[in-house]
């Protein structure tokens, strides 16, 4: 099942690449020559597109979308992601 409502833009994909490397919003902003506010706004937009509410779930869903052969891990309560 594809949870993504709309595809991520190129700039959103760049942000996600840094996010999955564990970078902070400030580090992402510095790397992409953006303000931290712009990064935060972009992340909220990304979360909406991916149907998640935090950066960890965003990273997991993004990785699964870019590599569909890897299943998402189950949530802590045992239900699928």
- Cβ atoms of 64 and 56 within 8 Å: the answer is no
Alpha carbon distances (Å) from 7 to 3, 27, 35, 76: 10, 24, 23, 28
Under the banding of pLDDT at 50, 70 and 90, the label for residue 6 is: confident
Question: pLDDT at position 62, please?
Answer: 94
pLDDT digits (tens, 9 = 90+) for 37-75: 999 999 999 999 999 999 999 999 999 988 877 666 666
- Chain mean pLDDT for the chain: 87
Give the CA radius of gyration of the chain.
13
Kindly report the pTM of this predicted structure. Answer: 0.78
- Mean pLDDT, residues 4-32 taken together: 93
């Amino acid at each position: 099942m594809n949870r993504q409502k709309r595809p991520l833009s190129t700039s959103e994909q760049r942000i996600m690449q840094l996010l999955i490397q564990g970078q902070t919003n400030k580090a992402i902003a510095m790397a992409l020559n953006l303000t931290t506010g712009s990064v935060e706004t972009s992340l909220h937009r990304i979360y909406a597109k991916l149907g998640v509410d935090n950066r960890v779930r965003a990273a997991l869903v993004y990785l699964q979308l870019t590599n569909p052969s890897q299943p998402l891990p189950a949530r802590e309560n045992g239900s699928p992601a």
